[in-house]
Chains A and B, each alone.
Chain A
Amino acid sequence: NAGVTQTPKFRVLKTGQSMTLLCAQDMNHEYMYWYRQDPGMGLRLIHYSVGEGTTAKGEVPDGYNVSRLKKQNFLLGLESAAPSQTSVYFCASRPSGSNNEQFFGPGTRLTVL
């Protein structure tokens, strides 16, 4: 049981490049989340999904897109990366009815030059 995994662990992009971050969970959780973590700001919610085929915006969605084609996977896309998107990205998941108790992946450190 791997829990929540994220691919890749590190990535360096140039401004304007695109990329996709993959989050996978093997716990059959309904809900999945993408956060970004910046120094002095804690974690902020980018997008989330309440089930396969559904997505919704969080607190800081601009510049990101997401897809949840399969229940176990939640993809975060950057169409045209900007230096302001340099951050550590965390994925989380939780089962329904868990009072928002979330399980986190190890994170992806992204640098945009």
Chain B
Amino acid sequence: AQSVTQPDIHITVSEGASLELRCNYSYGATPYLFWYVQSPGQGLQLLLKYFSGDTLVQGIKGFEAEFKRSQSSFNLRKPSVHWSDAAEYFCAVGAGNNDMRFGAGTRLTVKP
């Protein structure tokens, strides 16, 4: 079965600094990959997704992610973090039609 690892439980960055959140997955075939964001007390909002094609995908709110098959990674990046980006971020891998596995999440704190 597929699995997802987010190595960083908590990351703190200064406002305006760049951000990279790591995600590694385990799956035998080409997976469908997702990044979701969850603000406190809210549901999950899709940031971006990768199904096939160009390995650098753009998402909402200025986020992007790069699929690297050789490293089994799908890291999320943002060039300049805003205070409103403080939230929890989940990487997920979808395999087949009904099996979605989520990472444990990375909590992002943004310092003024």
B98 touches A99 (CB 8 A): no
Provide the main secondary structure of the chain B interface. strand
B49 touches A31 (CB 8 A): no
Contacts of A4 in B (CB 8 A): 43
A31 touches B98 (CB 8 A): yes
User: Which stretch in A35-43, A69-77, A78-86 binds the other chain?
Assistant: A35-43
Measured CA separation A90–B105 after assembly (Å): 15
B45 (CB) vs chain A CBs: closest residue: A104
Q: Smallest distance from the beta carbon of B4 to chain A beta carbons, Å?
A: 8
User: In residues 8-45 of chain A, which contact B (Cβ within 8 Å)?
Assistant: 31, 33, 40-45
User: In residues 52-92 of chain A, which contact B (Cβ within 8 Å)?
Assistant: 56, 90
Contacts of B99 in A (CB 8 A): 45
Contacts of B95 in A (CB 8 A): 100
B51 touches A42 (CB 8 A): no
Residue A50 CB within 8 A of the other chain? yes
Interface centre among A43, A100, A105 (most CB of B within 10 A): A100
Q: Smallest distance from the beta carbon of A77 to chain B beta carbons, Å?
A: 20
Q: Smallest distance from the beta carbon of B58 to chain A beta carbons, Å?
A: 16
Measured CA separation A4–B96 after assembly (Å): 23
User: In residues 50-84 of chain B, which contact A (Cβ within 8 Å)?
Assistant: 51
Which chain A residues have a beta carbon within 8 Å of chain B's beta carbons?
A: 4, 31, 33, 40-45, 48, 50, 56, 90, 99-107
Which chain B residues have a beta carbon within 8 Å of chain A's beta carbons?
A: 4, 9, 32, 34, 36, 41-46, 49, 51, 90, 92, 94-100, 102-105
